[in-house]
Amino acid sequence: MRKFLLPTAAAVSLTLASALTAKAHSTLEQAEAPNGGYKAVIRVPHGCDGQPTIGVKVELPEGFIGAKPMPKPGWTLTLDKGDYAKTYKLHGKDVLSGLKVVTWSGGELPDDQYDEFVVNGTLSAEAGARLPFVVTQTCPDGKVAWNEIAAEGQDPHSLKHPAPFVTIAQDQGHDAHGGHMMGAAGATASARAGDLDIAEGWARAMLPGQPAGGAYLTVTNHGAQADRLISVSSPLAGTAEVHEMKMTDNVMTMRPVEGGLEIPAGATVELKPGGYHLMFMQVKSPFTAGGSVPVTLEFEKAGKVDIALPVRDAKGMETMKH
């Protein structure tokens, strides 16, 4: 599908602008999600018919609140804020305004390369609603806007310039204030502390006789300064620590992370099986699938945040040994 660019200056002729095309439209990495924490990953798969993309503007939809963009090296961020159409609840507080438009400029995405632009926030809308993210790419001689919104029952693929959108999935125990989904095999938890977003959190069900339990999550730092995860605690365990699993002289080892785990500015740190993870020792009662593990994470700058990690079945998983 070929897209036509509109001129950005009077000196650019209509003929020239019409000759510039974009071969594929912008999309969202996750096109369906329940209310709650949501990372909008906007995929920009090209430049403009040989020209690079030098600006990307994203107009955020009503119902996507508390938004924070991820900085990109070499690009300048411009943030436009405004009032929402109604009052929302976010982390127990009334929210009337927030980020409405984010623009990355000054960088360069060559026509034959692909990139992603990320805005993290919270979805808060009726189940089944479509929330469009209007995307405009700017190139040296023009721009292309993905701004057409499908009507009820209309196939978005029938549009020439479809805006990427996320459909609100039916809530399944998901806390729209940055909470968690419980019960399902793929359930995860999310929370927010200052400039940090904690997402994809879950704990592994423990096997009989297992001496310790593990848990995993991701931490995204939207701030301009690095932060550090300095302590972990849970009422279900005597002690809890951040551990690292790695190969040393062909031997797999797991050791506590001394001095805390750094979360660099503008970066996401994954705690996942086979790498960094949360380790719970002296567990009072084994973690069981379908339950949850209350955890307090303490960060050097963002402070403390509580999160309840849903427990997934341990079938097929090996016992953790230290």
List, for residues 183-217, the tens digit of each pLDDT value: 344 678 888 888 899 999 999 998 877 889 999 99
Q: Residues 226-231: what's their mean pLDDT?
A: 95
Architecture, CATH, for domain 3-168: Sandwich (2.60)
Residue type at position 239: T
pLDDT digits (tens, 9 = 90+) for 26-72: 888 888 888 888 899 998 887 777 889 999 999 999 999 999 999 99
Is 313 or 231 the better-scoring residue by pLDDT?
231
For the chain, give every domain's residue range.
3-168, 189-312
State the sign of the Cα–Cα–Cα–Cα dihedral 105, 106, 107, 110. Answer: positive
Phi, psi angle pair for 15, to nearest 5°: -65, -45
Tokens at 149, concatenated? 């919104």
Q: Residues 140-165: what's their mean pLDDT?
A: 82
CA nearest 57: which of 160, 147, 151? Answer: 147
Is 120 or 90 the better-scoring residue by pLDDT?
120
Could you check whether 3-168 and 189-312 share the same CATH topology? yes
Q: Both ends of the chain: CA-CA distance in Å?
A: 55
Tokens at 288, concatenated? 């069981």
pLDDT at 189: 85
pLDDT at 24: 61
Question: pTM value?
Answer: 0.52
Round the average pLDDT of the chain to a whole number and report it: 81
189-312 CATH: 2.60.40.1890
